[in-house]
Structure formats: C-alpha cells, structure tokens
Amino acid sequence: MTINEELTHELLAFFNGFSSWENSIVRSSELTVSEAHAVEVLGEHEKMNMKGLAQKLGVTTGTTTVTVDRLEKKNLAYRESTKEDRRVNYIVLSDIGKNVFEEHHAYHLHLTEQMTSVLDDDEISQFLNTLKKINAETF
Amino acid sequence: MTINEELTHELLAFFNGFSSWENSIVRSSELTVSEAHAVEVLGEHEKMNMKGLAQKLGVTTGTTTVTVDRLEKKNLAYRESTKEDRRVNYIVLSDIGKNVFEEHHAYHLHLTEQMTSVLDDDEISQFLNTLKKINAETF
DNA sequence: ATTGTATTGTTTGAACTTCAAAATATATGA
DNA sequence: TCATATATTTTGAAGTTCAAACAATACAAT
C-alpha cells in the first residue's frame, strides 16, 4: 500500500465521519440539510448573489433558488436587489439567521476542539498549514 | 481569531471542496450519489450487513434498504443470506460493482495525488498521521 | 420449551433535494 | 437597435431521506 493509497483511505474515512457528524447535528436542529449548508455559507460571506452561493454549495442555481425560497419562508434570510445590476439578488442572513448560524458554528468549533484535543501544538499548526495549502491549490 | 477558529474555517472549506468534487465525479458517472457512496463503502469492506452499511453511510437502515435495492437492480451488488443469523443479509459487490468501485477509487487516488503534489514528504506523512489520530479518536 | 424482549431488515408515506431545460429579465458590445 | 451573454426563476421528473410501523428471527430467563 503506497502512502497515497493510505492517505486516500484516511481522507475518505475523515470525509465520511465529518459527513455523518454534520448530518446528525442538522437532524437535531430545525433546519433541513440544504438549508443548513446555505446558512453555513451565508454566515461566512455577508453578501452573496445566487450564482456565488450555488457555486459554494456545489449545486445549480435552480436548486439554490428553491433553498433560498425556503430560507425566506422561515425568515432566516432575505433577497436584496441591487441597483448596479438588476438581475442580481444578494442573499443576506436575517438576525434570526445569524443566530442560527452562530449556533451551528459553535457545534463546528466544538468538533474542532475535539479533534485538536488529541494533537499537540506542533501537530495542530502543521495540520492547519497543510489544510490551507490543499484548499488553496486543490479546491 | 484563535487557531481552533481558523482550523474550523479550513476544515469547512476542505469538506465543502471535497463534497463538490465528489458530487461532480458522481454526476458524470452512471451512479446516483447514494449509490456511489454505498459502492465506495462496500468496495472497502468485502461483506457488510445492512446495519453496518447504514452506520458507515450515516443513514437509517430503511434508507439503506432502498439504496441496496437499486444497486441490485443495476447488478452492482447482491444480498447474500447467512445461516448463522437468518435475519442478516450480507451485501456484496458483484464483479461489475467491483469494477465500478475500482474506477471510482482511481478518481479518489488521483485527487489525493493532486493534494500531495503541493506537499513535501514530511508534510505528507505528518498529514496522514494526524488524520489517522483524528479518525480513530473523533469519528 | 415458552415467553418476553431485543435485534435486523423491510415497507410506507411524506417531505426534501436535485438536476436539466426552458423561460424571464437585464446587461453589454457591435 | 440588435444579438448575445449573464443572472435568476420556474417546471417536471427522478432520487433521497426519515420516522414509524411491521415482520422475521435470535436470545435470555424462567
């Protein structure tokens, strides 16, 4: 087994673990999975248009329209039209939406703490560096 | 921003990047998303029962029943009953299923290679070690 | 052996998610 | 002004999911 094969295996396990964890968190909240993902992205970005949000979510804009409709219905976010380009809607979290985001974000922080609790300081900063590189170069 | 907050941010970006990548790979194949995940897990495990598969996938056994039904319909896997416990079905990949797995696995290996191409050898083995620890302790 | 309880897996119905393609509205360049 | 490009929405069909109810089998304790 080459190191890349081993790494592939661990990456998959990591991804699946993360995914299961995320699903169980979302299921225990009032959000659906796609709503939660959207809130997660919007919470980090202040203002996004539909296309940008769709790209970040990895889905089509059609799908994103449906998701944002639902967020609006739940008063978690709203569309804000702009003068510069009247085709564009900016999607913004409402105050309620921001609270929901913070709550969800706290869970993530807690998960991160759980992960780093088994690592020493050097490992943690090395891990962070590696992730930064990979994110910048690969995705 | 604490290191855990920074790490949370990078982990999320990593997860989303991985997720988008996986979705685009799956969409270009003849598999649906849930079928692909199941094949991915089954390819690594030889024999699994429904409960084990469901746990690995992070979904209920009901959902898994539907997924495996579909895999059987496509001749990618089959149920194998066992004498020891007649409630249990083992799910096994067919030869076609194994080929599909290998093909998908090759994509993963390619992604891993892309990631490691921006890292030096020490970083790679450190990254692998850290992932192993996290997978063992957190998920 | 019989009975009660636990476990494994399936079925069902309803809600959610997704895409592709067509449609709408607006922008931009020739 | 016209053609083309871009941003978003709408639509319809296929897939995905859960929870809850159900069926079959196992197991433990009398």
Q: How confident is the model at residue B26, as a pLDDT?
A: 85
Spell out which residues of chain B touch residue A26, defining contact as CB-CB under 8 Å. Answer: none
Model confidence pLDDT, tens digit, residues A6-31:
999 999 889 888 888 888 888 888 99
Confidence of residue B27 (pLDDT cuts 50, 70, 90): confident
Q: Which of residues 100-139 of A touch strand D (CB under 7 A)?
A: none
Q: Is the CB of B87 under 7 A from strand D?
A: yes
Model confidence pLDDT, tens digit, residues B50-87:
999 999 998 999 999 999 999 999 999 999 999 999 99
Confidence of residue A74 (pLDDT cuts 50, 70, 90): very high
Average pLDDT (B2-10) is 96
Domains of chain B plus CATH, in order, are 17-138 (1.10.10.10)
Residue B28 has pLDDT above 90, yes or no: no
Which residue, B132, B120, B139, is CA-closest to A24?
B139
Of A12, A23, A124, the CB nearest to B58: A23
Convert B84-119 to b/e letters by CB count within 10 Å (16 or more is b): eeeeebbbbbeeebbebbeebbebbeebbeebbeeb
Average pLDDT (A97-116) is 95
Q: How far is the CA of A1 from the C1' of D28 (A)?
A: 45
Nearest nucleotide from residue A52 CA, by C1' atom: D7
Question: What φ, ψ does residue A49 adopt, rounded to 5°?
Answer: -90, 175
Angle at A134 between CA A93 and CA A127, to 5 degrees: 90
Count Cα neighbours of B47 within 13 Å in the Cβ-side half-sphere.
7
Q: How far is the CA of B133 from the C1' of D26 (A)?
A: 37
Q: How confident is the model at residue A81, as a pLDDT?
A: 93
Residue A36 has pLDDT above 90, yes or no: yes
Q: How far is the CA of B37 from the C1' of C4 (A)?
A: 39
